[in-house]
A and B are shown apart, each in its own frame.
Chain A
Amino acid sequence: MIILIHGLMLIIIGIWAMLTRKNLIRIIIGFAIVDTGINLVLVAIGYIKGKTAPIINDAVSTAQGAAAGMQAVDKVVDPVPSALVLTAIVIGLAVTALMLAYAIRMHKTGRSLNIDDFEEQKW
């Protein structure tokens, strides 16, 4: 529960930073904070009680089809989400890196890191 609350707080703080800070780098930091918060939330609520680890043994049917799959997840935790959480973390990293790259090139072309200086296209 504490982790969940922390995670949610981080998300809110991050969004607040994204909405109010004017400096591109700070906005990106805000995004990174949101990302961290989300990962914390995933950790906090991704645990399901009363199920075992997804290791294949006699208890788990490996037949194909949705019904057989449902039978399987009655006993073990669904392994796909846990595998994909890792991907999500990597994706967060990639997006942050790309954002920073953009910030550098924006500074090169626009001579500023203030987001208010990039309003030429509107209406």
Chain B
Amino acid sequence: MVNPLYLIAVFLAGAFLVPFVDKADRRISLGIFYLALAASVGLSLARLMQADFTAMTESQVFTAGFGAPLSIALGFGFKEAILLSFVNIMGLLAGLYLAKRLARESVQSISLLLLLLLGANGLILTRDIFNGFVFLEILSIATYALIGLKSSKNAMAAGFKYMLAGGLASSFFLIGIAFAYRYTGTLNIDTWINMGVLMSPGYRIALYLIIMAIVIELKPFPANGWALDVYQSAHSGIAAVISTINTGALLFFFYKLLPLLPAEFMPLLAGAGLISFFFSNLVALRQKNAGRLLGYSSTAQTGLIIFVLTGLSGFNLSQSSILMIAAGLFVTNFFAKSGLFWLAGLIKKETTKSWSVLSKNSLLLALFGIFILALTGFPPFPSFFAKVELVRALAGNGAWVSLSALLAGSLLEAVYLLRWLGFAVKKNEEDALIETMPIPKLVSLMFGTVLMILVSLLITTKVYHLSSGMMYPLMAFLAFMIIDFLPMKTKGFIAIGLIAYWGWMFFWGKLLGIGSLFGIILIGGSLVQIFGFMHYKDNKAGLFPLLVMLIFSLGNLLQACTKLEFFLTWEFMTLSSYLLILRGKHAQKAALTYILFSLSGAYLILTGLVLSPSFYHKIPVYLLSDMIQMGLPAAIFLGIGFLIKLGALGVHIWLPESYTEAEDEFTSIMSSVLSKAGVFGLLIVLIMAKDALVANGLITGALGWLGALTAFFGALMAVFQEDVKKLLAYSSMSQLGYIIMGFALMSHLGWVSGLYLAFNHLFFKALIFMAITGVILRTGTRNMYEMGGLIKKMPISFISVLMGIIAVSGVPPLSGFGSKWFIYTSLIEQGHYFQAGLAFFASAIAFLYLYRLIHTVFLGQAKPAQKDVKEAPIWLIIPQAVFIMVIMGISMFPNYITKPISSAVSGFITKPDWLSWTGYNITLASPVLHGNWNGNLVMMVTMGVFGIPLVWLLLVNARVQKVKQFNIVFAAERPDKPWTTHFAHNMFAHYKKALGWLITPKITEFWNNVTEWTHSIAATLSYIYTGNGQTYLLHIFMYVLVIFIIGGVR
């Protein structure tokens, strides 16, 4: 085994040698410095490579040739080796990052950095508590001195406050040691552990002081004002070291002392950790300074790890799985936080808003994105798995308070981190390019990132055993990143080919029941729409990688077997769709709203998954669904999670914003395909909780009304929009309401109608959105009153929209009629007359907005500014043509789709005898309702009815005298705001007068208030950080005292 003393010797020798040889040349001293760092990395890695990790005692080394406690014991087992490898690699990277600075500064800083690492290494190795104190002080003193590297007034003040805090903490530590020694006669940690916890109150107080000293050093809220100042004002390289190396060493020392503590300390420490996590994230909401924000985030993460180490000990979890959770959180924070600090040092911008400079440098922006997403806990980074396991432990053991604090804190963390990402991607013309990019700093950054990704992949494959299929979204993303330089059209065809091949190999003919239906929707629907992205002439960097990732993850929803696979895929989908929305020009706020609602939904889904019975391996979730039945709590969590994704009324406010602000082609996919992922999830839940839901009845009743109200209000809000995309967004919401309504019936006919509408909605909404994309592309505006008379310029788009709105409105003969017919009949058949009435009313309202859509855009007078508008590019026409053909086909032969849906549904709810297909005729002969629908016949008749007048008109039209648009006389004055006099502006003003009160944005107001209040609380709380060193000292003193009193330590 590698003797740990070598590590200490290397650092000590380096630290003493460096000032000596520096007299000759700085290059020699720097050479020794890097040599020592490299040697330490080599030693720890060498230890890691050895396989002789057995019992703890066997990996101990005793100094001076005596056994403990007569000597100082150093433990160098597996855990130590891993942590030391990370710490020393980080030391090397930090040394590299600081290279330029170290070459300039006095030689002492080189020594100090080595001493800092000596302290960290010693703290991790030692098994003697007093020796731990010595290393802790070496670490602290080196850190204090290194903060002085930046000799600004603020850095000085921060360093001094840090010293005061550290001094007080070490006083507690020493007093604790003195009294503990009194009771035990030794200071060897293992000896103490062997003795067990002594019952003497004095010993307990001593232990309390010792552990609290370490907790204080770990910067818990609210006793951490000094630490925030340090993070804010220290040199970025040093701040990175403090938040990674120092925190890592201290956390490990904390972990080492845990076996000493009596069991009743654990809830106290866990509470302290969780409070620190939640409140640090809360206060961070208002923070505008990047360094300080990172400080808050660091303290929050440390708090969470403290919570994991202490709070989970009461549950039936193995030590190694607790450590695995902590390690996952730690490693992610370790690399991401150092990377962020280094980035901060590279771009030298104080406020988070000014990080928009990154938008001009795609490499740095990509790194920034990776760090932020890793910290937020997205897969495949270790923090994702750690959080999943943590939620599993908490929800599985009924620790609801902790779970809510954890999830709320995570959400707050996501708010400020992702808002920051939004600032960074926002293009700001005034920003200058980042010109100075020192190579060593860049090398550290890149190397750290690569290491983080490698560790992530290692953990994903080795620890959680995820099959390679589940990683396809990520692989596809990386593959398309590599070929991102190719022209858009080439990439488009590659993407279509790849996805088609993948679909053919893994899905075609292999999916059963509802799986095949959703396979067509999720994969087929996306495939056709890829054409829409190919009209761009300039290269849209990053678009195809994300798009392909999204489609792969959508497909994987059908492949996922275990809960972890399902949730991982769900998060891949959320992540890629969020980043795609973020690409929109002004989409920062919309994307943030989207991701926050999506994350809340994801947390609920995760909790629901934990509560549901375990899934089988190798059986996709959708197939499994009728084999297991979950209880109501799981179903409610999952259901709400999926309803958020669907944009049901109340949690819909992300929907209009993000549909509007996303890039136009992507909005089409969001509305037509992505929303179906929510439909899929909701259906799975209903299937899996069928027994419980049918027995209860109340929940499905509420769900039905939620669907009806969503349909109604969605339609009503669509009527009053000026923005064409917003109109369509609300229309989508309304349509999804119908689907929810159908599903909530829990009847065969209801589910068939919901699924049938889901199908139709894909086709007609994608059709309209694609056509409108072309219109927006050509006219350059989204406001309908700025368009008009485009029928002559864009006839194909007009036909698409016309077909689309006929289908949406549900008038014969197109497919929309069928889906509406199914919905109404299934509602009435079940006796839901009021819901049917409301649904019918909503459909009537739909006529208003659809009329507005086609009239104001394509009919009426053409705008002079748009007289040179051309038809949409062919790439947008291709998907429209496909969808028109599909709609015509479905309308003509509805059986080809209604019959498979019915047989898929009959796997879960038996088909009633009174529902039958004869030829093209669907017959209903239920006891309460009779009816039949022959889509084919209706189509034939309508085509005849439409065709005859058309021929007549064509004949008559030849004799009509054509008038040019401006062949008229203008009179009267020119109004101030001419567009307001246009009929298309505020088109339904009279209806607004009558019904407008219904859509006062009450729900938006509610969510705005939530935001406002959270921010106010955050601001108020942040006032505890007065900036005064003595106040911070008082905080520490009170912190230790209050926990002592609350805990009743005696």
A interface list, Cβ under 8 A from B: 11, 15, 18-20, 22, 24, 27, 31, 34-35, 38, 41-42, 45-46, 48, 51, 54, 60, 62-66, 68-70, 72-73, 77-81, 84, 87-88, 91, 94-95, 98-99, 102-103, 105-106, 109-110, 115-116, 118-123
Cα(A73)–Cα(B194), bound, Å: 14
- Chain B residues with CB under 8 Å of A121's CB are 154, 157-158, 228-229, 232-233, 292, 1027
Cα(A118)–Cα(B70), bound, Å: 47
B1034, CB-defined interface residue at 8 Å? yes
Closest to A64 in B: B67
Q: Are B1030 and A18 in contact (CB under 8 A)?
A: yes
B212-234 interface with A by 8 A CB criterion: 225, 228-229, 232-233
Given A91-B134, A102-B159, A121-B158: A80 and B70 interface contact (C-beta under 8 Å): yes
B1022, CB-defined interface residue at 8 Å? yes
7 more contacts with CB within 8 A, not counting A11-B171, A66-B190, A121-B233, are: A62-B66, A64-B66, A72-B66, A95-B140, A102-B159, A115-B1028, A121-B232
- Chain B residues with CB under 8 Å of A38's CB are 171, 174-175, 178
Choice from A31, A110, A123 contacting B1023 with Cβ under 8 Å: A123
Q: Are B188 and A98 in contact (CB under 8 A)?
A: no
Given A11-B175, A66-B194, A121-B232: A19 and B1034 interface contact (C-beta under 8 Å): yes
- Chain B nearest CB: distance from A101 CB in Å? 8
Interface pairs (11), CB distance under 8 Å: A18-B1033, A31-B167, A78-B185, A88-B174, A95-B144, A109-B151, A118-B1027, A119-B1028, A121-B154, A122-B1026, A123-B1019
Cα(A103)–Cα(B191), bound, Å: 42
Instruction: Classify the secondary structure of B's interface with A.
Output: helix
B164-222 interface with A by 8 A CB criterion: 164, 166-168, 170-171, 174-175, 177-179, 181-182, 185-188, 190-191, 194
- Chain B residues with CB under 8 Å of A63's CB are 67
Closest to B156 in A: A106
- Chain B nearest CB: distance from A103 CB in Å? 7
Choice from B57, B157, B190 contacting A106 with Cβ under 8 Å: B157
Q: Are B1029 and A118 in contact (CB under 8 A)?
A: yes
Q: Which of B125-133, B241-249, B304-312, B798-806 contacts its partner?
A: B125-133
Q: Are B174 and A80 in contact (CB under 8 A)?
A: no
Cα(A99)–Cα(B1037), bound, Å: 20
Q: Are B57 and A79 in contact (CB under 8 A)?
A: no
Q: Are A80 and B128 in contact (CB under 8 A)?
A: yes
Cα(A44)–Cα(B153), bound, Å: 41
Choice from A22, A35, A66 contacting B57 with Cβ under 8 Å: A66
Cα(A118)–Cα(B182), bound, Å: 41
Q: Are A78 and B144 in contact (CB under 8 A)?
A: no
Cα(A41)–Cα(B286), bound, Å: 45
Q: Are B67 and A72 in contact (CB under 8 A)?
A: yes
- Chain A nearest CB: distance from B106 CB in Å? 13
Cα(A11)–Cα(B173), bound, Å: 13
Choice from A34, A60, A73, A84 contacting B171 with Cβ under 8 Å: A34
- Chain A residues with CB under 8 Å of B133's CB are 84, 88
Cα(A64)–Cα(B131), bound, Å: 19
- Chain B residues with CB under 8 Å of A60's CB are 70
Cα(A45)–Cα(B179), bound, Å: 7
B847, CB-defined interface residue at 8 Å? no
- Chain B residues with CB under 8 Å of A110's CB are 153, 156-157
Cα(A83)–Cα(B292), bound, Å: 40
Q: Are B148 and A15 in contact (CB under 8 A)?
A: no
- Chain B residues with CB under 8 Å of A11's CB are 171, 175
B609, CB-defined interface residue at 8 Å? no
- Chain A nearest CB: distance from B1031 CB in Å? 9
- Chain A residues with CB under 8 Å of B66's CB are 62, 64, 69, 72
- Chain A residues with CB under 8 Å of B179's CB are 45
Given A18-B164, A31-B164: A123 and B1022 interface contact (C-beta under 8 Å): yes
- Chain B residues with CB under 8 Å of A105's CB are 148, 151, 156
- Chain A residues with CB under 8 Å of B1028's CB are 115-116, 119
B145, CB-defined interface residue at 8 Å? yes
Q: Are A41 and B175 in contact (CB under 8 A)?
A: yes
B141, CB-defined interface residue at 8 Å? yes
Cα(A38)–Cα(B130), bound, Å: 14
Q: Are A119 and B1026 in contact (CB under 8 A)?
A: yes
- Chain A residues with CB under 8 Å of B153's CB are 106, 109-110, 118, 120
- Chain A residues with CB under 8 Å of B161's CB are 118
Q: Are A73 and B154 in contact (CB under 8 A)?
A: no
Cα(A20)–Cα(B66), bound, Å: 47
- Chain A residues with CB under 8 Å of B140's CB are 95
Q: Are B156 and A102 in contact (CB under 8 A)?
A: yes
- Chain A residues with CB under 8 Å of B160's CB are 24, 99, 102-103, 106, 115, 118
- Chain B residues with CB under 8 Å of A72's CB are 66-67, 69-70
- Chain A residues with CB under 8 Å of B1030's CB are 18-20, 22, 27, 115
- Chain B residues with CB under 8 Å of A15's CB are 168, 171, 1037
Cα(A54)–Cα(B66), bound, Å: 12
Q: Are A120 and B154 in contact (CB under 8 A)?
A: yes
Cα(A23)–Cα(B848), bound, Å: 75
Q: Are A109 and B156 in contact (CB under 8 A)?
A: yes
Cα(A11)–Cα(B871), bound, Å: 84
Q: Are B1029 and A62 in contact (CB under 8 A)?
A: no
Q: Are B130 and A84 in contact (CB under 8 A)?
A: yes
Closest to B68 in A: A69
| Binary per-residue interface labels of chain B (133-148) against chain A in the complex, 1 for a CB within 8 Å, 0 otherwise | 1100100110011001
Cα(A118)–Cα(B130), bound, Å: 34
- Chain B nearest CB: distance from A90 CB in Å? 9
Choice from B128, B164, B177 contacting A27 with Cβ under 8 Å: B164
Cα(A87)–Cα(B170), bound, Å: 13
B670, CB-defined interface residue at 8 Å? no
B509, CB-defined interface residue at 8 Å? no
Cα(A75)–Cα(B161), bound, Å: 45
Cα(A80)–Cα(B68), bound, Å: 10
Choice from B157, B170, B182 contacting A120 with Cβ under 8 Å: B157
Given A66-B188, A121-B157, A121-B233: A45 and B178 interface contact (C-beta under 8 Å): yes
B72, CB-defined interface residue at 8 Å? yes
- Chain B residues with CB under 8 Å of A66's CB are 57, 67-69, 188, 190-191, 194
Choice from B141, B187, B287 contacting A81 with Cβ under 8 Å: B187
Given A87-B134, A98-B145, A118-B1029: A78 and B171 interface contact (C-beta under 8 Å): no
